[in-house]
Amino acid sequence: MSVTPDPEWRDLMEAWQSEAPEERAPAPLSDEVRRRIRKRVRWASYRLLLKAAANVITSVGMIVWLSLILDFRQTADLAVMIASVIFIIAGMTFSFWNFRGTWWPTAESTATFVDLSLERCRRKLVALRFCYIFLAVELAFMIPWAVWALLSRADPWAPGAWFAVFGWMAFFSAAMSAWAAWYKKRTLREMAEWEELRRSLS
């Protein structure tokens, strides 16, 4: 799967490399390139904070929505509500723990900004590994729960219901796996670009 180069990264690298086109070694970073690095990292910080806030709002909204549509007098509905709350809390806890210390630069230096970006890339890869484990645990709960819930229906063997439930789980798993593969490749490319900039600062 190919990944389209990031236009911002392409422009940044071209600006850096064009400063000494005849030299074999990388050119020192100019003030303009350093300014653009700081700007990029600050915007990444804003996006990280916005993403965290969106995750909290989405999670609360999901719990409220489930509480409105589920009938807690039904054992199957109560089970899925409890499991959903546990999964949401576990996912949120891991996300905040994983990105601890990376929300904002601790110093106003280019080296700090580059090191922070490299650490964020490493945390993204850790999050991807957690994503696979989290998906497997969810499926380990959802598959037996779905069988139990479908067999509890008035018409337990209606093929449409089985196809809808397991078809959705298969589609969701495939979509998550495809996204994770794309995101990993994108993160590794971003890490290589930051590492190249880090070497130029040494």
Q: Please check whether residue 181 lies inside any domain of the structure.
A: yes
CB 120: neighbour CB atoms within 10 A?
20
**What residue has token string 């209606």?**
158
Distance CA(105)–CA(39), nearest Å, equals 12
Please say if the pLDDT value at position 1 is more than 50: no
Say if 2 falls within a structural domain: no
Distance CA 163, CA 184 (A): 31
Q: What is the pTM of this model?
A: 0.78
Residue 141 Ramachandran class (φ > 0 left, ψ -120 to 50 alpha, else beta): alpha
22 SS3 class: coil
The number of folded domains in the chain is: 1
Higher pLDDT, 30 or 98: 98
Q: Which of 148, 139, 119, 131 is nearest to 184 (CA)?
A: 131
Residue 1 domain-assigned (yes or no) = no
Helix locations, 29-158, DSSP H: 31-69, 75-98, 110-151
CB 115 within 8 A of CB 198: yes
Range of the domain at 145: 7-201
Write out pLDDT tens, residues 85-142: 999 999 999 999 999 999 988 888 888 889 999 999 999 999 999 999 999 999 999 9
